[in-house]
Every structure is written in C-alpha cells, then in structure tokens.
Amino acid sequence: MGRRVVLSLVGTRPNFMKIAPIQAALARRPDEFEHALVHTGQHYDDEMSAVFLEELGVGDPDYELGIGSAPREEQIARVVERLPAVLREVAPDVVLVPGDVNSTLGGALAAAREGIALAHVEAGLRSFDPTMPEEANRMGADALSALLFTHSPEARDNLLREGAAPEQIHEVGNTMIDTLFAMRGRIAAAAAPQRHGLEPGRYVVVTLHRPALVDDDALLIETMEHLAALADEYEVMFPVHPRTRRALERLRAQPRQEALRLTPPLGYVEFLGLVADAAAVVTDSGGLQEETTALGVPCFTLRDNTERPITVELGTNTLLGLEPARLRDVPELLRRRADAPTKQPPLWDGRASERIAGVLARADLTLKPRSRLNAATLAALRYPLVPMNVCGAAAKSSTAAS
C-alpha cells in the first residue's frame, strides 16, 4: 500500500490544538502518510489564529480558504464552495475534521460531495440542545463520517444510538489533551501568573463567547456585575473573545468593569499557564471544560448543558446553568470542594494522536456513513444546516454512498 494522503481542515482557535498533535504524529510516520493542512480562515485575527499555529508548531497551512466572518450558513457555504478545488488538487484518501465549529460542518459536506472518506475527531459529543449551532455541526459531521474518533465512552453510546456501526467508532482519547501534555514544560516555564502579577491559587480565569450568553444584553450585563462581585474575593482575569468584546462595546449601559482585569485574547502557552495555577475557571467554552479536568482546576460552566458530561462525572466541572446569579456561590463551592479528588477520563493520556495515526494507517476507508441522520433531518434542526442547494448536494452524495 502506498502512502495515505490525509487532509486536515482547521478554522478556529480550538481546532488548532486538536489537529497539531495529529499532524505531528503523522509526520513521525513519513513512510505511511502525506499530510496537507487547510485553514478555512473562520478565525483570522493573529491573536485568534497565527499565534496558535506558531506556538503549537503547526506552521503555515498549505491552503487557506479565507472565509472570514459571516453568518453561520454563509460561513459553511463558503467552505463547501471553496474546499472542493483543494480536494481535487490534493486528492486525499481521507479528510480529517475536528470539533464542532462551522468550518467542521463545511468541510464534512465538501468531502461528502467529492466522495472522499471523512474522519471526525471528537465525534459523538451531544449537548441535546438543538439551539446550539455547534450541536448541528457535530451531528452533521458525524452523520457524514466513515471514521468516528471519540474521546469518551458516552460519545460511543450516542453514535451507536444514532445508527453508526461499531466498526466506524474508534475510542482514541483526547487530542486536545495531547497538546496540553506536549506543552506542559513550556507552559510551566513561561510563569504566566507571575508575569501578570497574580498569586497562584488566588485568582479566577474567565472566558465567555457563546451567543446564548454574550449576544443577550441583559444576561451579559448581569454576568459582568456578578464577576465584579467575585472580584471582591479573587482577582478576576478575563481575556475577552472578539465576539464578546463587540458585544460589550454595543451595550448602552456599561457594566462595572474596573474591578476586572480584561485583556485581549491570549496565546496558548500564556493562557494555559494562567489556567493551570488558577483557583478556578468560569467559562462557557467546551475545550476549557476538558483542559481544567486534565489540570485538576475547578471549572464553573455558565451553560444549561454540556456535551462533555464526563468532565462533570469524573472531573472538575460544575454546571452553573445559564444563571449568572449563581456566580455568587463560587467562593463557597470552592471552599467546600477544597481538594476533592478527581479522576482522569480513560485515554486522556497524551497519546490519542498516535492512536489516530495507527487507525488511519490501516482503516478501511471504503466504510460508508451509517448514521440514521441525514442532511435532510439535520436541516430540520432549528439552525438550518446550509442553503438548500448545498443540502441537496450533500444528500445526493450520502445517498450515492449508501
């Protein structure tokens, strides 16, 4: 068998940490793999993209699609429109898409349209909340995938329930945690808390960016007020996502911000350095729920649900609900949990990417997607999948494939 050509698609900040260690694992097996990296450009600011590619050793992408900011459907449609030319040039045996962002679904639909085997990294996560665009993105990617790489047992159960075949599912572990393991030395050496004048264990790190929270003015104001109150007990370090920055600028009544330490988005090493020594993290991010579990740092999630229940069951995560008033409980919850032991989910051991490379080397890439979900079902979710013509194309190729 000749070398397998793998094409990975990234688009947003959390994608880079998920693909970097896979790219490295494939590069360690040059006799078996060729790899091409495509960046959709969904995240395009240096501080959301270039900094990460450099720090994580990913380097410049081989292709850039430049999709930029746009409404969800437009972002997806741009990937579906622009990726096929790259797919024809690279002629990959398999397309790898990570996570649940708009770029992920665009990549999945384009691969399906071109009849190329798709592999989804971080498959099977479900929040069971159809109002989240990420839920439609991950269900769509799973429904179109030949290979499903999962990082927790419940992900496998979700996929089987939706009709995936057992031979499609590979429980490999968490590639985002591979990156954390690989970068630990650099993270510690960077001494981020000291550089920010923060005392380890005496500050809280905050990140917020989900539309459900930051696009709702009343909720955002309420959240900022409660964070300011939390700042009476802990320093509050809040690197602000571009979506959130704009939402804050739009507000008519400016909430109390002087008590908080607001910064632009931080690089990977600096940010994880702050998280590693924090008393706690307050967030609505998916990835951070996992990273805090791996680091043993208490995490309070301002959402009604999580697609990562393992971080609640075994780990450090507490779901507060989309109820900023519950931030009042954080100091007391922290005192009570003190040094509560937490467990690491199985296979979050820094070696997930090696396992993925092992599977990619030998997998049967003619496996057909088997999910009972198809593009039409997905289009019925509250967030329309993609414009009708693209749906039609996706439906055609998944029918052709079955």
**So which residues are the catalytic ones?**
209
Closer Cβ to ligand UD1, 4 or 39, answer by number: 39
Of residues 185-214, which lie at the interface with ligand UD1 (CB under 6 A)? Answer: 209
Binding mask 46-75 for ligand UD1 (x = CB under 6 A): --xx-------------------x--x---
Distance CA 281, CA 206 (A): 6
Does residue 15 interact with ligand UD1 by CB under 6 A?
Answer: no
Cα distances (Å, whole numbers) of residue 284 to 50, 212, 214, 309, 402: 23, 10, 10, 14, 37
Distance CA 6, CA 169 (A): 18
Give me 250's structure tokens. Answer: 């739009």
Does residue 101 interact with ligand UD1 by CB under 6 A?
Answer: yes
Does residue 243 interact with ligand UD1 by CB under 6 A?
Answer: yes
Distance CA 170, CA 156 (A): 8
Question: In the complex, what is the shortest distance from the CB of residue 23 to ligand UD1, in angstroms, rounded to a whole number?
Answer: 20
Closer Cβ to ligand UD1, 43 or 308, answer by number: 43
Closer Cβ to ligand UD1, 132 or 231, answer by number: 132
Distance CA 69, CA 351 (A): 34
Distance CA 48, CA 39 (A): 13
Distance CA 48, CA 55 (A): 12
Buried (b) or exposed (e) across 52-82, using 16+ Cβ within 10 A?
bbebbebeebebebebeeeebbebbbbbbeb
Candidate segments 9-17, 20-28, 154-162, 384-392, binder of ligand UD1 by CB under 6 A: 9-17
Cα dihedral 320→321→323→329 (10° resolution)? -10
Does residue 13 interact with ligand UD1 by CB under 6 A?
Answer: yes
Candidate segments 77-85, 94-102, 309-317, 325-333, binder of ligand UD1 by CB under 6 A: 94-102
Does residue 153 interact with ligand UD1 by CB under 6 A?
Answer: no
Of residues 209-238, which lie at the interface with ligand UD1 (CB under 6 A)? Answer: 209
Binding mask 289-328 for ligand UD1 (x = CB under 6 A): ----------------------------------------
The DSSP H or E segment spanning 105 is helix 102-114
Choose, by CB under 6 A, the member of 84, 153, 242, 384 that binds ligand UD1: 242
Choose, by CB under 6 A, the member of 8, 23, 40, 42 that binds ligand UD1: 42
Does residue 12 interact with ligand UD1 by CB under 6 A?
Answer: yes
Distance CA 15, CA 97 (A): 9
Distance CA 223, CA 3 (A): 52
Closer Cβ to ligand UD1, 263 or 333, answer by number: 263
Residues in the site for ligand UD1, rule: CB under 6 A?
A: 12-14, 42-45, 48-49, 69, 72, 100-102, 133-134, 209, 241-243, 246, 285
